[in-house]
Structure 1
């Protein structure tokens, strides 16, 4: 049977029909009636919960269920949904087991042990959370007679969108903004409603709709009253409240004042007036998010004021409305001098905030990135998470894969987040897991206001994030914000069953692939805690280890010909290890105790330093990069095994993305290994680096490579190409020809080329003048990541032609036709025996 195509908009709420093979009397839930308790206006979360349950039964089980508004009208097996207070008003009572959940904000209780199923919430949105939980079990075929209660770990479970007023999304790889276009709010907000539905289904309760690099024009009367108001109205029935990111300099840029000094009376009045106008438009606004004094943004330090004075100035007018200021701890000097061995951007958050611990207002929450730098492939937890005793804090994650493949690579991030959340910060010598510090009734600080935020880059593409598999990260973020002790693999398998169906083969294959994805990405992009070795001076996407040093941004590796790594010890380095509590600091300070996976984060060592594994640092680099890339090479074949088990539209989309990822992983591997072999002068024990027996470099002088209308050119990042050079056409058309010296047999042909954003070149591969295949350099139309205009590690890519029969003396020709400024650039051809990866 051919599965109907799906575009991905419904994501994990598609409510796929439960196959007959897995239906049982229990999970087929023969419900006849839904009783919606309470007097609602038709737009409350309780009303939405009834609609969701009705739709779920229709789609999952093909069953029509009737909604009524009182118990006397119910018949047959019934679901009763409502708040605890509305349920008690009918004269009913719940058992004592429900109390810990229904007495907690947003907590819910499910009971399906009788013919009157209960979905009760402590408040209206909690009812909706409970309904989504009920439907999740139904859709996964795991429904049974049970009682279950749940409550969130923390009250802040927010999303930070990085949408710009012009409709673009900073670090957005899945289309244009759902919210903005041409300086105003979009007219059609249907996708915003669908987004709110997704958020509610995973327990998220707030969204800051605009970029932290904020445009103050959002605060204009028309945008507030005809825009932000409509967004809030759309999201409110799903229990999602709206917030705004502010530009600290708005008093000058929008208000026409001469200053944005937070102690200036005119500035104070400006923000009081703005807040009154904002709350007139959106009475339940959650508050403001602020980025200030970071990456060139103005802030209180620009006026000689403290960060606390700046935050409190914004917090005061919010106080009567119950609004919060989430003040990002992402404050640092991006003009650091690398010549000073004591300089360290990783120290910035603690240095800027800890001495202000008792000075922040009660409604200020410091928003702390999970690691000390910036969403790297591996970081230790930020020490600031354990240093603020009085000031409330929230942790910041990133669903947008800025440094992690930008949603052109499938990388499941929840295992990394889980490691951060499970880390023991040892406050006062006691167990202090990060997840407990952030839980309101646990941890050493027992903050009443704390929680989770994440940078999310959903766009108007039907995939939301540009890659169907990337949605696992958004789902996992919501699940972990609600219950941070959940297991990343369990979360993933729930998501797979909801997104792709309950076939165990599908669940197992996708789970295995995605659980391998973060270790593989770390393997080929930067390991031992060295950071993600991407181009931090350009698009943050492809490999560029050289860019890590010699800049003012502070994301340094301090690599030279002798060694690599940041010395962050107290004894001889930047002192970052000492920002942690003593039991943790002792581990980071001592190279013999520091785990290998963070060695280069805390210590500068020779390339020949021997790890606990017995390998040298440089050999580990070579091995890890080859092993990581090799794992990614298996992804296309593993996905191919699901042909026919996933609808064709989503299957082909993911197959294309994984094939691209496999090719780019080789670019990453080769670039990093070449760079450090050159820098260290130490060969790979296995002689793999720059020794590719199946490759034919096209720019290297060779009598066996004939260029017609092509010429060698330098590559911007020389390690990203064979011998640092590529070839490209001198005019509109050119050809590259080579005669093969191979044994007769069947081969896979791989062509590595460069696909830039400055044009769309066309290519054709010929064997003995007969076409093998054609392609176009149009990845900027098919992939969402930040593209490059240069020949470099961002634009380097690969295409395969598999199962080609060859014999000795055959002639391969590539004909390239320039498109725009893209002059059909090529790197090499690989002639691979079937099953080989070069």
Structure 2
């Protein structure tokens, strides 16, 4: 193809300023200093030795002192906060803890890497949340549920005898952005993770992570006392069950004194839980919390629950958990997904936030792109998470979790640009007030180059990317119209014999001859009433509802006049076309970036952008051709004619594979 030839010429003829790379260094691409910097400290610990090693290898700005401080200013910053100050050419890093000094070290090196003036610093930092964790959905066999970057990083068959150097690299990357916890295994947990043999393997990882300030957590199966302990029941009010968990907790903390605690998915999607015994989620969580409490451990209890019901699925977590407010122990945190359905490209915030004032809550974001093109599409997610924080104040949350996008691929995340979401999650978990644009710029500067000719256009691409994905997948509040199983491509017509209605797209889009969208107003499912009155007044009104949520809350007539003056149908077509145009534009911008990027990463990213542009057309054609069978309206001027017919697109069946991305080249040809 002509484009491929031109790309090859651009790559071969470019004056590439950085050496060839494989992406394994992430954003930590520091240049080693030619002569050791003068680093002084009176403290000696594994964590401080890490900080001194980083500064000795990479700091170029003169003398640095690391010191523990016990004054009121530093105590006000908490156990992980720190100050950085420059006086008379000496940079001083201060904290009440060694962890704070390590975080300060990475902050200082980040400033240097981004070209900041470090000669007159006066910085005071503390994290917004005490608990900032990655959730790994890794399975014992090495696969990763919703993983698109290879197999699991954890090599259970080798541990504890073989400890991969990548474990320390992983911990270092997390520490550099302030992540302080990791849940090692899938929330669909195997009871075997708690076996004595496996706990020794967990200990090996915990020992690697500890100097980096990272605690280890485990997802646990609620039925473990039956499957692992040989008991007849897992009833949380049974004394033998409670004793089994107490003994297991004692065993864990004997091996891992700083073990963080348990993450639990219970009575959701077939997982066992307290409701199997007619007990509440609070009773189940509190039983586990009582076992962990003497050791300082916590329970993160997921609120992602829904069951076959006449109730709108978007309402079910609220209906189940809201009545339990105030019944959870103080070392239980209820973990709530950011939206009420399931990590859709755009959702309103979950109404559980703000509805449980006497319960500690944490938000669960998805860093891995289950519903955003897997590791084939660029979707920079900081704007999505900032959208959540525009409704929910960080002060109302106890903690934050992110479902990781990390695998054993050499570049960690499959798509080199997907590393930005791991980075952005950590930065926003530390400080949700940071601007998405600033995070994108500093990530680009550290990961590729600080050259403004690269950073400026690529920052624009990143900032536009998530909205582009929403446009070409599910604009205007459409949601969950993905293909069965893999959640990659479009299948709004999907029918599966025996499947629950709320597992199928038609449940969500409700397309008919009159219009499109799910009526969640007071006249529909009344999901809107779960929000505060001030929000209800907006979401319940067709005229006032933000158009990004209009099809989420309303069944809208095809000829309804939108804010643009277009009909709903024309606006829908315009949004899909805008998404396609954006995806093609991203590929064009990247073509111009070849002089600033090593050839390996340039080619890899170029390939991903080509897939994304092709997939955008696939989504547009599939959705518009399908919805047009209901609207019976013509495509407006400016919207490309479909490349594929609906008949062709209905034949597309991608393989369901949890760790290998489906490829857009499996689409039919125009002659099929």
User: Which digits, 9 at most, give the CA deviation of each residue in 1:420-477, with x for residues without a partner?
Assistant: 1112xxxxxxxxx432322xxxxxxxxxxx1100100311111111011001111111
- Shift in CA distance, 755/188, structure 1 to aligned 2, threshold 3 Å: farther
Radius of gyration: which is bigger?
A: 1
SS in structure 2 at match of 1:119 = strand
Q: Which residue of 2 aligns with 1:327?
A: 301
SS in structure 2 at match of 1:395 = strand
CA contact (8 A) 1:293 1:331 kept: yes
User: Which digits, 9 at most, give the CA deviation of each residue in 1:44-90, with x for residues without a partner?
Assistant: x2111111112223xxx5x9xxxxxxxxxxxxx420113214xxxxx
Match 1:556 to one of 505, 508, 513:
508
CA offset at residue 644 of structure 1? 2.5
Higher relative contact order (CA 8 A, sep 6+): 2
Cα distance in 2, alignment partners of residues 218 and 280 from structure 1: 16
Match 1:586 to one of 537, 540, 562:
537
| Superposition pairs of residues 109-148 of structure 1, within 5 angstroms | 109-144=83-118, 145-148=120-123
- Shift in CA distance, 401/667, structure 1 to aligned 2, threshold 3 Å: same
Ranges of 4+ aligned residues in structure 1 off by more than 6 Å: 183-186
CA contact (8 A) 1:619 1:685 kept: yes
- Shift in CA distance, 53/720, structure 1 to aligned 2, threshold 3 Å: farther
Match 1:166 to one of 126, 134, 141:
141
CA contact (8 A) 2:143 2:659 kept: no
SS in structure 2 at match of 1:6 = coil
| Superposition pairs of residues 187-226 of structure 1, within 5 angstroms | 187-225=162-200
CA offset at residue 785 of structure 1? 4.7
Q: Which residue of 1 aligns with 2:382?
A: 414
What's the Cα RMSD here?
A: 2.5
- Shift in CA distance, 720/469, structure 1 to aligned 2, threshold 3 Å: farther
| Superposition pairs of residues 626-775 of structure 1, within 5 angstroms | 626-686=577-637, 688=639, 691=641, 719=646, 721=648
Does residue 1:462 correspond to 2:464, yes or no?
no
User: TM-score, normalization: structure 1?
Assistant: 0.74
Cα distance in 2, alignment partners of residues 529 and 513 from structure 1: 23
CA offset at residue 525 of structure 1? 0.2
Q: Which residue of 2 aligns with 1:52?
A: 54
Does residue 1:39 correspond to 2:44, yes or no?
yes
- Shift in CA distance, 143/547, structure 1 to aligned 2, threshold 3 Å: farther
| Superposition pairs of residues 506-545 of structure 1, within 5 angstroms | 506-535=454-483, 537-545=484-492
Count of aligned positions: 651
Structure 1: runs of 5+ lacking an equivalent: 19-27, 64-76, 86-93, 424-432, 439-449, 698-717, 726-753, 759-779, 788-794, 799-824, 831-838
| Superposition pairs of residues 203-602 of structure 1, within 5 angstroms | 203-225=178-200, 227-333=201-307, 335-336=308-309, 340=310, 343-423=311-391, 433-438=392-397, 450-535=398-483, 537-547=484-494, 551-553=500-502, 556-570=508-522, 572-602=523-553
CA contact (8 A) 1:162 1:457 kept: no
CA contact (8 A) 2:137 2:184 kept: yes
CA contact (8 A) 2:322 2:356 kept: yes
CA offset at residue 574 of structure 1? 1.5
Structure 2: runs of 5+ lacking an equivalent: 1-14
Cα distance in 2, alignment partners of residues 558 and 215 from structure 1: 37
CA contact (8 A) 2:266 2:273 kept: yes
CA offset at residue 208 of structure 1? 0.6
Cα distance in 2, alignment partners of residues 371 and 462 from structure 1: 32
Cα distance in 2, alignment partners of residues 688 and 160 from structure 1: 41
Cα distance in 1, alignment partners of residues 639 and 445 from structure 2: 40
Cα distance in 1, alignment partners of residues 580 and 231 from structure 2: 55
Q: Which residue of 2 aligns with 1:743?
A: none
Cα distance in 1, alignment partners of residues 334 and 185 from structure 2: 18
Cα distance in 1, alignment partners of residues 170 and 81 from structure 2: 22
CA offset at residue 376 of structure 1? 0.7
CA offset at residue 597 of structure 1? 1.0
Q: Which has the higher helix share?
A: 2
Q: Which residue of 1 aligns with 2:568?
A: 617
